[in-house]
């Protein structure tokens, strides 16, 4: 880690003005506001000089006006979790929490991240990529039988996701996924248990199992109390539990993530591949709401919510150095 990108000591952070970035313009705005409020409350409780910054197209101006010196990113979805805000913060030289520009962009793109996982030998479901406005005849291109899962390439919180069990429903699922972007993913349906691994500073904290009371762990189940049961630690055989931890960390590191992340997976229930684990995606800015998984996993390790927030904050830094050939570049021209 170069001198430009070192973490800020805790005693120095206490003196700095911290902006908790929340809201944004993605489909996950309301979830982000809830996460941001919880983060802000924890930081103020711990004695940090933190304020809320609701993110919109005037973010750069607001950061300058409020004299923000460190950013705690509580955003979810596009233009927050995809490297966009991270790039702005790098340009303004404001240290920030979580993954950097490249890691954020890679994790947000399900197609690119899966290619990286495959290259690293990490298990993922079989999938195909479809381009904008493929017709229902696209079903002929899919090399595995129904049911299949259709999802946007760059959305979170299961937004735009459909499990297609009948051929006649395929076109409708395509239309929904394409409403969120020009590239979508169609993957084989795996009859599996939904599990997630929480990572904090390259430490896999634990595995949680999610049992939705609806068809799958969709947006409603994630953010509506009573629509999903959580089991933490997940009741898996010890060998499989350890394997899930290892795969979670491997996925986190394959994308060069930092701070607190959540790796979503499927654990196959039965058949000849029973016990097989498949990686779905890495969330670089996981939810921090009352129903969110990373805080629950952290609690299972004895880490309170304020402590989790502080540990993420302590990882705030710039990731891109402004030094070239041993010289510091002052006001570099673009």
- In the set 262, 267, 292, 317, the catalytic residue is 262
The reply to whether omega before 147 is within 30° of 0 (cis) is yes
Does 194 qualify as catalytic in the annotation?
no
Active-site residue, 87 included: no
Comparing C-alpha atoms, which of 119, 42, 121 is closest to residue 74? 42
**Checking phi first, is residue 121 left (phi over 0); if not, alpha (psi -120 to 50) or beta?**
left
Q: Which of 157, 158, 218, 292 is catalytic?
A: 157
Determine which one of 90, 155, 264, 310 is catalytic. Answer: 264
239 is catalytic: no
User: Is residue 262 annotated as part of the catalytic site, yes or no?
Assistant: yes
**C-alpha span between 232 and 180 (Å, rounded):** 32
CA distance 13 to 46: 12
Residue 118, SS3 per DSSP: helix
Question: In angstroms, rounded to a whole number, what is the distance separating the alpha carbons of residues 254 and 256?
Answer: 6
Annotated catalytic residue: which of 74, 77, 80, 287? 287
Give the three-class secondary structure for 4: helix
Question: Per the residue annotation, which of 19, 23, 24, 28 is the catalytic one?
Answer: 28
Half-sphere exposure of 245 toward its Cβ, with a 13 Å CA cutoff? 17
Annotated active-site residue in 38, 218, 283, 292: 283
Catalytic-labelled residue, pool 223, 241, 267, 278: 223
Treating both helix axes as pointing N-terminal to C-terminal, what angle do 84-91 and 101-108 enclose, rounded to 10 degrees?
170
Annotated catalytic residue within 155, 209, 281, 310: 281
Conformational region of residue 206, where left means phi above 0, alpha means psi within -120 to 50, and beta covers everything else? left
CB atoms under 10 Å from CB of 202, counted, come to: 12
Active site residue 283: yes
Q: Is 7 assigned a catalytic role?
A: no
Q: Active-site positions?
A: 28, 157, 223, 262, 264, 281, 283, 287
């Amino acid at each position: 880690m170069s001198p430009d990108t070192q973490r800020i000591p805790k005693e120095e952070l206490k003196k700095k003005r911290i902006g908790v970035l929340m809201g944004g313009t993605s489909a996950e705005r309301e979830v982000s506001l809830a996460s941001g409020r919880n983060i802000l409350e924890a930081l103020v409780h711990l004695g940090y000089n933190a304020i809320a910054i609701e993110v919109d197209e005037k973010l750069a101006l607001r950061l300058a006006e409020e004299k923000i010196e460190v950013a705690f990113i509580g955003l979810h979805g596009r233009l927050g979790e995809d490297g966009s805000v991270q790039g702005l913060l790098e340009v303004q030289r404001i240290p920030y929490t979580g993954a950097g520009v490249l890691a954020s962009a890679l994790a947000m793109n399900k197609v690119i991240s899966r290619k990286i996982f495959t290259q690293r030998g990490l298990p993922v479901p079989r999938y195909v990529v479809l381009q904008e406005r493929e017709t229902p005849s696209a079903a002929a291109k899919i090399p595995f039988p129904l049911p299949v899962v259709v999802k946007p390439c760059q959305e979170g919180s299961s937004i735009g996701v459909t499990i297609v069990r009948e051929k006649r429903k395929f076109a409708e699922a395509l239309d929904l996924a394409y409403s969120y972007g020009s590239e979508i993913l169609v993957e084989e349906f795996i009859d599996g248990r939904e599990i997630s691994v929480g990572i904090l500073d390259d430490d896999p904290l634990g595995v949680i199992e999610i049992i939705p009371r609806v068809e799958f762990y969709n947006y409603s189940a994630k953010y509506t109390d009573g629509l999903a049961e959580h089991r933490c630690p997940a009741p898996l055989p010890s060998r499989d539990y350890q394997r899930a931890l290892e795969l979670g960390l491997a996925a986190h590191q394959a994308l060069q993530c930092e701070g607190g992340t959540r790796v979503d997976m499927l654990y196959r229930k039965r058949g000849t591949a029973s016990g097989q684990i498949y990686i779905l995606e890495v969330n670089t800015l996981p939810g921090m709401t009352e129903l969110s998984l990373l805080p629950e996993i952290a609690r299972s390790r004895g880490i309170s919510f304020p402590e989790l927030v502080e540990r993420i904050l302590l990882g705030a830094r710039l990731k891109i150095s402004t030094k070239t050939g041993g010289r510091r570049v002052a006001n570099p021209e673009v």
